[in-house]
Amino acid sequence: AQSVSQHNHHVILSEAASLELGCNYSYGGTVNLFWYVQYPGQHLQLLLKYFSGDPLVKGIKGFEAEFIKSKFSFNLRKPSVQWSDTAEYFCAVGNNNDMRFGAGTRLTVKP
């Protein structure tokens, strides 16, 4: 069955620490990969996406993600987090039939 797994449920970091959130998926065929962010009390917004080409994609606010096809992974990274990055982060995988989301990772950044 198609699925998206996010390994970390809650991550707590201090400002300036580096971030890596894991995402693995189980999907057949060609997929599109996304990371969405949900700030407290708000709806989901696109952070970055990968369709094809360079497997290292850069998104907004200094985030980047790397697609590793052999590992079915699309991990999100940021070299130095800020307090304003406190939010919930969702990995999503889509094909021409549907879109599935992971369970989300809550990131808390302490000032």
Partner 1 sequence: EAQVTQNPRYLITVTGKKLTVTCSQNMNHEYMSWYRQDPGLGLRQIYYSMNVEVTDKGDVPEGYKVSRKEKRNFPLILESPSPNQTSLYFCASSRIAGVKAFFGQGTRLTVV
Least CB distance to partner 1 at residue 35 (A): 11
Q: Which position among 44, 64, 66, 86 is part of the footprint of partner 1 (CB under 8 A)?
A: 44
69 binds partner 1 (CB under 8 A): no
Q: β-strands 10-14, 105-110: how paired? A: parallel
Token pair recorded at residue 30: 């060609």
Least CB distance to partner 1 at residue 80 (A): 26
Closest CA to 65 of 98, 40, 90, 38: 90
102 binds partner 1 (CB under 8 A): yes
100 binds partner 1 (CB under 8 A): yes
72 binds partner 1 (CB under 8 A): no
The one-letter amino acid code at 111 reads: P
Q: Please, what is the Cα angle at 27 between 49 and 5, to 5 degrees?
A: 70
